[in-house]
Structures are given as C-alpha cells and as structure tokens.
Structure 1
Amino acid sequence: MRAPNPAWRLLAVPLFLAASVAVASSHREAPLISNDPAADGTDMYAWKQGGNLVLVANYYPIGVPYGGPNYYLFDDNVLYEIQVDQSGDGAPDVRFQFRFRTQIRPSPLPSVGVVAGYDAYKDSFLYAFAGVKTATAPEILRYQTYTLTKVVGGSQQVIVRDAPVAPNNVGRLTTPAYPQTAGASVLDPITQSAIQTGLGTAAKYKIFAGPRDDPFFVNLSKTFDFLNYDGKANRDDLAGLNVLSLVIELPLTEFSSPHLGIWTTSSRPKVTTRRTDGGVDTSGSWVQVSRLGNPLVNEVVVPMKFKDFFNASKPQNDLSTPAIVAIISNPELPQLLQAKGFIPLAPPAPRTDLATIFTRNTQGKPTGEMLHINTGTDSTFPNGRLLTDDVTDVALKAVGGAFFTTFADGGPAILPDGGGTFAAAAAGLSDGVAANDKAFLTTFPYLAPPHSGDPTP
C-alpha cells in the first residue's frame, strides 16, 4: 500500500479529527466534565488575521442568558490554558495561562447597619445593580478579574494583570450598554472596555475574557436522536445561548514556525476539601480535566467508557495509547451512517488512512490530536478554524468517505458495486444548519456579543 499523497494528507489532517466526531463540538461531551461546566471546553478556534494569529477558547456550554442570580463565571480554582506546539512533537512549546479572581462587592445602596455580619442593602442577592456601562463599573457586584501569563520553557511573561472580565448581559436595566436585541452585533461599550492590550513587549497583543454568543452552530436534537436527519434545513440548537470566551490576538512573529498545533485545556487542583461552613479548600498539583483541539473529537468518535480518559490525556501520548489508535482505526460513526441509509457502505476498517491522518500536522510530522494550522496560507477549516466554518458538515462528509482512498493510485476509492465513489456517496451529508444565529464582529474580539437575559422593553 502506497503512502497517501502529501498534499491530500495535509489537507485532511484536522478534517478527519473533526469529521470523525461529527456533530456538536464538545458541549457536555464526557460524564465527569458534564458535571463541571465551568471547566468544560466547548470549542477551539484559530485563524490567521493579517499578520496576526487569533486564538479563541470557549468554555461553559449551554449558557442560558437569564441564568441568575449566579450567572456563568470563570472558576477561580481552574487553570485555563491555550497550548501551542510549534516544533511538531505533540508537546506544548508555548502556553497561555488564564487565572481568575472573583470579588463580591457591596451594592450602591446606603448601609443601615451591620447585624451578625450582615449589612442590609449593602449585601445584595443581585449579580449586578442597574446601570452597568463598562466592564469595571461599580454596579457589578460579583466582579471578576484575570491574569494572563505566557509560559515558554521555564520562563514566564505576564501579558496582562488584574484585567476585568466582561460581565454577563443580565438585561436592559442592569446592562443597558450591551446590545439587547438578537440582531445586534456591534462593538458595544462594555465589550470595548474589556479589551486589553498586553504589557511591555506584549504591547501588540489584544486580549478579551467574558461571555459571548456561542458561535458554534449545529442541530443537537436530531443528531443525538439517533442521527434523525431528514434532509431539510434544521434549527441551530445553540441559538440564543452563550459561552465564556478567552480570546487572544498576537503577532505571528511570536512563533518560530508557521506550522502550529493548538489545543485548550482546563485543570483543577488534585485535592478539593469541602468545609462544613460551605467553603472549599484546594491543594496539590494541577490535574487536567478537559482537553479540546479539533471540534467534535471527544463528543462522538470517543466511546463513552473512554471519554473521561481522553479529557485527561495529552496529545504527545496519543500515538502510544492503543485505545486511542484503535478508536480512530475503526470509528463507530460510519457504521451508523450506513445503518441509517445515509451512505450505501461505510469505508471498511481498519481505517489505517484515518489513523495516519489523525497523527500528522501540516508538515506531516506525528503529533497527536490538536487543531493544526499553517499560518503561511489563508485559514479555513481544516487549516485552522474560522468562526464561520461549517465544521459539522465537513465532518459528516469526511467520516462518510469524502477523503477515503485505497492509496493504490492516490485517487478516490470506488464502491464495490461500481456505483460510484465513497466520496460521491458522502457528498450530501449535512445536519441542515449552515450558519450561526448572530453575525460575527469584523473587529476584535470577533465573536458576537452575549444574548440578553431580559431584552424586552
């Protein structure tokens, strides 16, 4: 069997990774992390923006805009990281680490005195008081800040320190400076005030942390109802929902290679102790609880019994982990697509072609699962990932055989009955959702503003 054509292989690397897990990115993808939404990574995006690279890591899936009084926040006890492999060995060479700090601030109402530690009116049940106009407004009563640190080898560089997290869009009275209508996608005053510029030599960095519209678009309901696709246009089941976003834009000159592998992880302290007074103490080293590179990998391709294991694993160990190699060599999804009659025949196992593709970066080096990008060319999935990329459709087509080949002549594989190619048979696969429910911004931080919890006048 001849090796795959290099150009085809480089095109398909991340394509298969998303493809093999079609539909739903990583929203509530594994048993343990579904009980820990603040640490649950939903999507990783990376694209070339002129001479810069934009990185977007989203967390906290299925964010209902009206989910008060404890609106969705980053967790002070989670280490959020965006990791970059620039050497092609599957290990991170550059890490961007976000740590958060939450403060409970007094309301602007006058105090009527303190009794048993309770200051009536100053101690409020509200997340924020009316009239929030900026990310640092004193009306934000549950106020978050963060520090971003770049780690390269043993050196650390603080990019921003004690920067404000944009508040949740509570509604027209509390956060009137946010857009309150679903169709509005503008750079509003609150978002603008949360955009940070890096310190010192990182002055060309832009950074944002806070809630945004969930940019992933997919029909979840029909997907998980045993692939109940009907060939019609379907609703975006993530429409109207928010996520928590970490966004960095930085010069491409910060990296030593244009061939990058990118993923995001979250980690918690190894030991958590709950006190009888309602508090929590943590200790021990960081333990990884979520991992996300390409969209959709853990959600569908990884069987239920291995999902928690995958979230704790590292890309550099993928090639030496027999279970991961076996899962990719014989994925379940093509068999389901055949059983449902969406394709006449699933490409036969073992999918050695997919196992090879799964482990290669844009130079053909074995790395493990991560979002790959060649920043020397324009970005569109599978070369990085844009907010507008319809990765679900790409995924379904690829896993159904769009890039399947015998490698006998480097061309597409012919179906045994002579009725065409695997690629042609998979060409019509789709979840019926083609675009996000909100328009994206044309300027940093690019994601649409968060949906309002109370938009009605």
Structure 2
Amino acid sequence: MNHKITKNIRKATLFALLIAVVGTVSFQPLGSLMASSHREAPLISGDPKADGTDFYAFVSPDKSDTVTLIANYLPFENPPGGPNFYSFDDNVRYEIKIDNDGDAVEDITYRYKFTTTTQKGDTFLYNTGPVKSLSDPNLNVRQTYSLTKIQDGAETVIGQDIPTPPSNIGPKSTPNYDKLQAEAVKTVGAVKTFAGQSDDPFFADLGGLFDLLTIRKLPGNAGGGSDGLKGFSVQSLALQVPISELTNDKSRPTDPKAAAAVIGAWTTSSRQSTTVLGGGKASSSGEYVQVSRLGAPLVNEVVVPLAAKDLWNSSVPAGDAQFANGVTNPELGKLLNALYKVKVPPQGNFGTAEARDDLVAIFLTGIPDLTQPPNVKPSEQLRLNVAIAPTQNPNRMGVLAKDNQGYPNGRRLADDVTDISVQAVAGAVYPLFHKDFKPDPLATQLGDGVDKNDKPFRSSFPYLALPSNGYATTSGLDERASVGNSDKDSDDDMGKTIAIAVGALALGALAASLLMRRGSRA
C-alpha cells in the first residue's frame, strides 16, 4: 500500500475516533458542575477534599438528650468515580468546634484525622471481590481515623483506628451497603461517631440560582425547580454528643431561656503550610493553616463578596466584624429588588438605625429569646438552643413557619435553608424586630422550587441517606443521573449515546474515504 495513503488512513481513523469521543462526551451538560453553592470560594474550589459543603446541628429526634452535629466535605462526588473512589484526605485536619459561652471562641473541638492503607499494591482494583464487612480481605483500600476531643487546652484521644465504609460501588462490590454503613457507626466514650460517604443532603436549584438568580416557576414556593445536587454524594462526619457534654455548666437545660441553653458551632479544615511534591509522593510540613470554615448555610456563598471569600475561609468568628457590611447591606436584597421588584427592608451601615438588625440577629448574634446567648459577641456561627425539644411535625421552613426547632435555630437535614434565607433577606423576618413593617407579599413566597432532598433521610443516627451506587448511575451530570430510574431510561440514554457515536464514526469513515482519494491522486 502507498505510504502516503496508509498515513492518511491512520489520520482519518484517529480523526474518526476523536469525533466519536467528542461526540459522546460533549453532550453531557457540564454547566451544573461549574455552578455550585458548595464551591464557594476561589482557593477552596481547587481543594475539594478540604471543602466544607454543609454543616448541621440539631437536637437528635430519637434521642433528645443528645445533639447531632454533621459536617460534610468534598462536593459533587459522582458515584461511578473509580478506580480511585472518594475519601477524606489524610493530610487534612477536619474539626467541629463548639462555642458554649457566646464569646466567639471555641471551647470544645472534635478533631478527625484519617489514615489510608492499601492491602495490595500490585492491583488497580479498589476491591478485589465482594465487600461484605469492613474487615473483608477483598477491601483493598481502607481508611480509618482517630477522634480527639480538645477542651481547656487538653487533648484527649477518644477513639483510634475507627473504620470508614468504602464508597458505594455497586451490587457486586458492595452488595449490602447499608450493613457496611451500620458497621461504621461506633460509640467511643460518651459520643457516637460516623465518618464516610453519604448522599448529599443539601437540595437547591443551583443552576437557576447562579444563573442570575433565576426562579424557574415564580414565585418559587410551589415546586418547578431542578435539584442540582440530586444523585451526588459527599464525605460526612457525624457526631452524636450528650447535651451535658456541650453546655458550659455541664447541664441539660430544659428552659429555652436558661443561660447555658444556646451553643454555637461550626466546622473547619486545615492543612500544613508547606507541601512538597516529588517521586510520586506529597509530603507536608509546618503549622496547620485553616483553609475552610462553615457554620450557617449560604453565608460565604451569597453574603460574603468575592474579594473576601478566601479571607473568610481562613478567618475565625472573633474577627467577623470585618464582614458585617455583607450582612447589613446584602447584595442579594438588591438583586431581589432589581430582578423581582421585591420591596426589601431598609438597608444601611452596620450599627446604624437603618441596619438590617433582623439579619444581624440571624447571622451574627442569634435571635433574642431563641438563639442568642448572654453577653454575645457578634460572630457567624450556627447557633442551637438545646432546650427546645424536637417536634413531631417538623416544617421545612423552620422558624419562619413557627417551628422553633428548625433553622435558624440550628439546622436539620430537611430544613429548606435556601427558601428560608431568600425570604429572610427579602424581609420576612423583619416584622419581628419592627412591628410596623409589612413585608412585600412576594417576600414570603420566594424560593428555588426545590423543597426536599431527592432521597428520604433515615430515622436514626447518622440520619443521612445512603449514597447512590456507581453501577446504577450512568452519569452524575446527566440530570444527576438515572439514579432510581428504570432500565428503560438507561437503555434510552445508551441508545442515544450509541447513535451519536455511530454518526460520528460515519463522519470519520467519510473523512477517511476523502483522504484516501486525495492520497491516491497524489
């Protein structure tokens, strides 16, 4: 065969394969991946294993003498993401911090530190067979952790070598995944702990919210939104702690107005200041530096301006006065007025009569007689009144719906913090502080059209829904995939993909034919 023709055929074949690959990949809607409330600041968006996505604190519904604290990390885990499935980072300190006297400084810290081991380095497999227990020899990659309590300057290791469950791979690899998760729930000392993968409990129409605050179906409180987190997973840290372990006087308050009834909480992640790469390894040294901080939801996403987001993640609550203007003069309020003509309450500078004292209470001081501790120092925390017992009929709108056990009194998994926050900025809470103010009728109807998680939460600790398995998920980016869909849906999607690929190969064949003709003429 002529050398020039052979060369052209090779080019055409490569071209055909390239078209086939591009044809199948480019039809995936990538926009939703890039628009996330989880990736809230420029620096942390490049460090997903240290990126705190959400934080929850609530009186445990089935064990009301305890508080459950949940910190989620690593956003947008796509279930089929092997062979290196998702895990915590061995080089990150993950911490949950408690301020129990209102001075904006942590009094108690729970620190998680992880260690990953590989049983067999001569295989690419995450697991070499079905994993039926956390000690199963088929589980090749394992992660354990230590749990340390820090209080009054003393560090106490309360648990070591605690196992985490593997990622939910599929029916052959993890046939009884609920059993693996249950095995990872451990009681150490006075607390119950879990660390591992879960379905992302946050629900919101990210695509609409970050497309210039689009509400797909006005006014937003009657559905019609698209859950941008559906089908994705996160890495969860969950703690269930006796209330008496958290309060400043070691009591379990029953009076919501008791001096010790309110605690504040947040989560942070920290890395050592220096990382050296070489020889296929990374080594870290130096002091630990905070890279992520998260208390109340959506603060760094929509309250803190872009130029200050990385500073926020490295800051401590005691220094939050520097961010006060974002609370008292929120950009979101201006946008709601400009886009939807909502008449938001007066706005002005921090400390003036025109300040948004309602938002100052929600985000910085706590609400009087509900979540405000005595002698409070303004700071952003997720505050919880531990004396308010769980309700048998929770309302997703929390305090706005007169359900004082919900957000912004702590945060339960099912609280619709997006709708609550948007309505609060629009003025729905303002009459509590200014009796003569009447909110815009639209203010109490605003929302994103997504009212609940795509999966039901469980009734016992750690309460989180199980993560989707990778086998049943064709793509976390394809409408957050065919999780729970019928085989027919999967077959239809596969048919479309095959059709695209066949068409692309046909184009490639045509290109090859043309190149061969040109080559023969030459």
TM-score, normalisation: structure 2? 0.73
One of 79, 83, 98 as aligned partner of 1:84: 98
Distance 1:345 1:370 in 2: 24
Mark the CA change 1:250 to 1:345 in structure 2 (over 3 Å): closer, same or farther: closer
2:37–2:206: 8 Å Cα contact kept in structure 1?
no
SS of 2:159's partner is: strand
Any idea what the Cα deviations from partners look like across 1:129-169, whole Å, max 9, x if unmatched? Answer: 22111233222211100000000022122221010011100
Corresponding residue for residue 453 of structure 1 = 470
- Where 2:110 maps in the other structure, the secondary structure is strand
Distance in 2 of aligned mates of 1:211 and 1:289: 21
**Matched residues in 2 for 1:90 and 1:53: separation?**
20
- Whether the 8 Å contact between 1:347 and 1:400 is mirrored in structure 2 is no
Q: Which residue of 1 aligns with 2:230?
A: 239
1:282 equivalent in alignment to 2:296: no
Equivalent residues of 1:160, 1:196 under 8 A apart: no
Which residue, out of 411, 431, 439, partners 1:385? 411
| 1:154-173 aligned within 5 A | 154-173=153-172
- Inter-partner Cα distance in structure 1 for 2:436 and 2:82: 53
Cα distance in 1, alignment partners of residues 334 and 311 from structure 2: 24
Answer whether contact 2:57 2:412 (CA < 8 A) is retained. Answer: yes
TM-score computed with the length of structure 1 as normaliser: 0.83
Residue 94, structure 1, aligned to residue 94, structure 2: no
Structure 2 CA distance for partners of 1:346 and 1:360, relative to 1, 3 Å? closer
Q: Deviations over 1:232-291 (max 9, x none)?
A: 52121111010000001111111223210000000000111111x121111111100000
1:310 Cα deviation from its structure 2 partner: 0.4
Using a 3 Å threshold, how does the CA distance of structure 1 residues 46 and 25 change in structure 2: closer, same or farther?
A: farther
Segments of 4+ in structure 1 off by > 4 A?
Answer: none
| Conservation of the 8 A alpha-carbon contact between 1:333 and 1:399 | yes
Find the residue that maps to 2:333 and give its secondary structure: helix
**What displacement does 1:346 show?**
5.7
Q: CA RMSD in A?
A: 1.8
- 1:399, CA displacement in angstroms? 0.4
Instruction: Tell me which moved more, 84-93 or 375-384.
Output: 375-384
**Is 1:213 matched up with 2:199?**
yes
Unmatched segments (≥5 aa) in structure 1: 1-23, 107-121, 179-187, 414-420
| Matched residue SS, 2:441 | helix
Please tell me whether the aligned partners of residues 26 and 41 of structure 1 are also in contact (alpha carbons under 8 angstroms).
no
**Residue 363 (1) aligns with residue 366 (2):** no
Q: Which has the higher helix share?
A: 2
Gaps of 5+ in 2: 1-34, 249-259, 350-354, 390-404, 474-486, 488-522
- Is the 1:381–1:391 Cα contact (8 Å) retained in structure 2? yes
String of CA shifts for 1:91-126, please: whole Å, max 9, x gaps.
0000000000011111xxxxxxxxxxxxxxx61112
By how many angstroms is 1:352 displaced?
Answer: 4.1
Change over 3 Å in CA distance of 1:337–1:352 after alignment to 2: closer
- 2:327 matches 1:341: no
Structure 2 residue corresponding to 1:353, chosen from 354, 357, 381: 357
Report the counterpart of residue 398 of structure 1 in structure 2: 424
* 1:328–1:354 CA contact under 8 A, matched in 2: no
Counterparts of 2:211 and 2:146, CA distance in 1: 41
Pick the aligned partner of 2:69 from 44, 48, 55: 55
- The alignment covers a number of residue pairs equal to 393
Aligned match of 1:424: 441
Mapped to 2, the partners of 1:88 and 1:103 lie a distance apart of 41
| 1:411 and 2:435 are equivalent in the alignment | yes
Give the secondary structure class of the aligned counterpart of 2:288: strand
Say if 1:43 and 1:412 are closer, same or farther in 2 by CA, change over 3 A: farther
Equivalent in 314, 317, 330 of residue 315 of structure 1:
317
Q: Is the 8 A contact 2:344 2:440 kept in 1?
A: no
Which residue in 1 is equivalent to 2:328? 329
The CA deviation string for residues 180-215 of structure 1, in whole angstroms up to 9 with x for no partner, is xxxxxxxx21011111110xxx2x321100000000
Give the whole-Å Cα distance in 1 for the aligned partners of 2:348 and 2:130.
60
Separation in 1 of the partners of 2:175 and 2:364? 48
Structure number with greater CO (CA < 8 Å, separation at least 6) is 1
Distance 2:57 2:298 in 1: 15
* Aligned match of 1:75: 89
CA distance in 2 between partners of 1:126 and 1:172 (Å): 16
User: Does the 8 Å CA contact 2:342/2:440 hold for their aligned counterparts?
Assistant: no
Select between 348-357 and 422-431 the one with higher mean Cα deviation.
348-357
**Alpha carbons of structure 1 residues 412 and 30: separation in structure 2 relative to 1, 3 Å:** farther
* CA contact 2:194–2:462 (8 Å) conserved in 1: yes
Structure 1 CA distance for aligned equivalents of residues 43 and 436 of structure 2 = 40
Which amino acid counterpart does residue 37 of structure 1 have in structure 2? P
